[in-house]
Structure 1
């Protein structure tokens, strides 16, 4: 598709403007189009390519923090250091996953570094499907070590998504169900994780921040665990 005159002029500006103005432009574009991320990716594709070709460290940080072009993000992720990769994982729409298929777009494989995974699960735009798979420890997160899984759950506890009620402005039955299922998966952890002081602390941190789940009785989960082990999560929490 041919560029419009406005896009050509905007591209000329981005080729020569100071890096700080380029980053501000990226920030404004991200904020103004935050409700239409898929359209925004197409609109910004040409401009972000221009900015990437400037090979400026500050602009690359801006692209990692505010960019939406998956092709540019992939190149940055593959060549940059951990700090920039963490910025991308924490900021890129859907955490770098395909919002329609849960395929990770930024690299051939998911990050294995604990800090990068924590950055990923601090991203408030992750899809419900990805959050469910983490909480249920399903592929591609089934191979996480216990320690890394705990760290990811702690990072998720800080994610605003977990404490934000569903937006009922536009009624959508499936979206409503999917959104609330994440809360249910979080509360169901109380019935599945080991009964240890460490996990009691992790669960307290998560569930204290988590929005209440529909149809899930927290005390039932806690007491079921207590009956099966003689000392459940609830009593462990009380003793901590």
Structure 2
């Protein structure tokens, strides 16, 4: 008789392994699925180093061949052989096509099994040829699952650096891969410490520079790379080795025409999302703020200055140099939202409560959302950093872009509904299989 008790909300690594196996092997598929979700969350949060996982349990659960349990294993398991078998099952083309697609996406989304530092050639559940197929012709579900999976961070360095065989992809397809990879949280992971640098993080940031240096200079790529620049943690970006290289990078994109995508006059320049300036200017200012500080002869130098006659060169200064409160106010008075956007990329300004207080009084709704994101990045680097507003007049609820928040909430609600329907359907399938097997067995015994 199967166990149908409610599952705990977290995985208990201290439960006796024999009891744990016996309990789960005799639990209903619904219970096993819920516990596997907790199991995957536990492992992907870094607990795998404690070796508190049970690969043999995963094998035994897979032997039950239950659709709901298989889905839970695909999304949360760490046994590479089990995952490869489930992926092969999903790609076999037999059975329910919708379920097979869900199983495939679950494996590609698995955060616990993938090694964050490996490249596509060593992904545990799929072969190099399968990665190449996904990169070349994979659909939206496949690309989103794999390229936004922080557990597959190593894939990002291959995409941004356009490592073979990705170098043979058309530019348009490469642009699509870059856009999906931009949403991967692993983009900003950097585990460098006293024991050594995080080489994967270095390779990813070098790859970002490679995209900026080699991607076609047109409006489509500006719209693709603008979100990438916005989500980068300024503390992690690669420093260029000379002022000439930094200026060359900025000038490469500076004169690109970004026409309006909508409206009657398609020849009119589109506006930037954060500043109201032309998109080409906003993009150039972002580049200057992120890459305008270079490392030359073992010291940092800036290509710009706060009093420079060129707005882009001023932004290079705004994005990295130490400033006093009165300098922040002067920058706001002179350059408005452009100053605020680039100043938010400056760790020195965010570490100064006086400067933060002045910034908070001038932030538009999009910039307020950016401010929240930047404060969260600062908290990751400085554990003592307080993300709470420092100004009494600043309303904390204003830091979320209302339109984006509503869209995200709707998407999450729709996804949750789909998962609930899928889980219910799979549970029904499991029960049908169970009763069919029981009846068939009874008929065999009767004969």
Q: TM-score range by the shorter chain?
A: 0.7 to 0.9
The corresponding residue for 1:58 is 68
- Change in 2 beyond 3 A, CA 1:188/1:236: farther
> Are residue 187 (structure 1) and residue 209 (structure 2) matched?
yes
Note the aligned Cα RMSD (angstroms). 3.4
Q: Which deviations, in whole Å up to 9, do the C-alpha atoms of 1:78-126 show, x marking residues without a partner?
A: 1112332122112244647894994233234224213313321101122
Secondary structure of the equivalent of 2:122? coil
Q: Using the TM superposition, give the Cα deviation of residue 137 of structure 1 relative to its aligned residue in structure 2, in angstroms.
A: 0.6
Q: Using the TM superposition, give the Cα deviation of residue 236 of structure 1 relative to its aligned residue in structure 2, in angstroms.
A: 6.4
The corresponding residue for 1:131 is 156
82-91 vs 201-210, greater mean Cα deviation:
82-91
- Relative to the length of structure 1, the TM-score reads 0.78
> For the residues of structure 2 that align with 1:98 and 1:214, how far apart are their CA atoms?
18
- Relative to the length of structure 2, the TM-score reads 0.45
1:69-108 counterparts in 2 under 5 A?
69-80=79-90, 81-93=100-112, 95=114, 99=118, 102-108=121-127
Secondary structure of the equivalent of 2:169? coil
Q: Using the TM superposition, give the Cα deviation of residue 7 of structure 1 relative to its aligned residue in structure 2, in angstroms.
A: 2.7
Structure 1 residue runs of 5 or longer lacking an equivalent are none
Q: Which structure has the larger Rg over C-alpha atoms? A: 2
The corresponding residue for 1:7 is 17
> Are residue 160 (structure 1) and residue 195 (structure 2) matched?
no
Is residue 124–residue 160 contact of structure 1 (8 Å, CA) maintained in 2?
Answer: yes
Secondary structure of the equivalent of 2:167? coil
| Structure with bigger RCO (C-alpha 8 Å, 6+ apart) | 1
69-78 vs 92-101, greater mean Cα deviation:
92-101
Structure 2 residue runs of 5 or longer lacking an equivalent are 1-14, 91-99, 259-271, 273-277, 284-447
> For the residues of structure 2 that align with 1:157 and 1:202, how far apart are their CA atoms?
9
Is residue 73–residue 88 contact of structure 1 (8 Å, CA) maintained in 2?
Answer: yes
Secondary structure of the equivalent of 1:142? helix
> Are residue 220 (structure 1) and residue 242 (structure 2) matched?
no
1:18-57 counterparts in 2 under 5 A?
18-33=28-43, 34-37=45-48, 40=51, 43-57=53-67
How many residue pairs get aligned? The number is 229
> Are residue 148 (structure 1) and residue 173 (structure 2) matched?
yes
Correspondent of 1:122 among 121, 130, 148:
148
Secondary structure of the equivalent of 1:71? helix
